[in-house]
């Protein structure tokens, strides 16, 4: 069975939020990034959390939640660099399930559906709701070269577009696949 590594991207600067959004406590009592990590961990074989230099508090929190933490020295250049860093650190995996640390409301069942599609041979898989593609997104091993070539703020969207014929969408009712935390107002329950 395919070994899936979850890549939790937690290396953003939280500029729009005005502070460290990943450490903000949710009504569940868990921090934003910790909840996202725990949801991801339920469906993958291991979790690698990518953090920015100096994010010691976030790193310690994610390690306590069971993730192996990788510091991305180039995190300031953007999400593409952070994703490539995570893929390089988890290069032995058969597939990767990429999640964002500022998306704590993705249901664990949704993460499991995406992981199952990867285990069943999907090359690229993402959940969708009402015609909108969301997160997390899974990638099979044969896309490693494309993922490792990412840089700057160009995330995996370019890889998905280049290999769109290999994209499998999984329809879900989960609104969490589209909901992230960018501003403090995003933390208000909907």
Q: How confident is the model at residue 153 (pLDDT cuts 50, 70, 90)?
A: confident
pTM of the model: 0.93
- List the one residue out of 87, 16, 94, 75 whose CA is nearest residue 48: 87
Has residue 189 got a pLDDT over 70? no
Q: Tell me the fold of 4-182.
A: Spore Coat Polysaccharide Biosynthesis Protein SpsA; Chain A (3.90.550)
Please give the backbone phi and psi of residue 45, each rounded to the nearest 5 degrees, phi first.
Answer: -80, -30
Q: Where are the domains of the chain?
A: 4-182
Give the pLDDT mean for 151-172.
91
Provide the pLDDT confidence category of residue 187 given band limits of 50, 70 and 90: confident
pLDDT of 27? 84
Q: What is the pLDDT of residue 94?
A: 96
């Amino acid at each position: 069975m395919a070994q899936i590594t979850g890549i939790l991207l937690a290396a953003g600067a939280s500029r729009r939020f005005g502070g460290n959004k990943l450490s903000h406590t949710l009504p569940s009592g868990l921090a934003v990034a910790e909840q996202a990590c725990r949801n991801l961990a339920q469906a993958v074989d291991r979790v690698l959390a990518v953090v920015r230099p100096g994010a010691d508090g976030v790193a310690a929190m994610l390690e306590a939640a069971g993730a192996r933490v990788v510091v991305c020295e180039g995190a300031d250049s953007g999400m593409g660099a952070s994703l490539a860093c995570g893929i390089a650190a988890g290069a032995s995996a058969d597939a990767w399930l990429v999640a964002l640390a500022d998306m704590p409301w993705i249901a664990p069942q949704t993460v499991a559906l995406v992981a199952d599609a990867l285990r069943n041979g999907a090359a690229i898989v993402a959940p969708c709701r009402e015609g909108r593609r969301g997160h997390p997104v899974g990638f099979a091993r044969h896309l490693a070269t494309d993922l490792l070539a990412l840089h700057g703020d160009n995330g995996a969207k370019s890889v998905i577009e280049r290999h769109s014929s290999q994209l499998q969408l999984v329809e879900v009712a989960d609104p969490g696949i589209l909901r992230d935390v960018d501003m403090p107002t995003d933390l208000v329950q909907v």
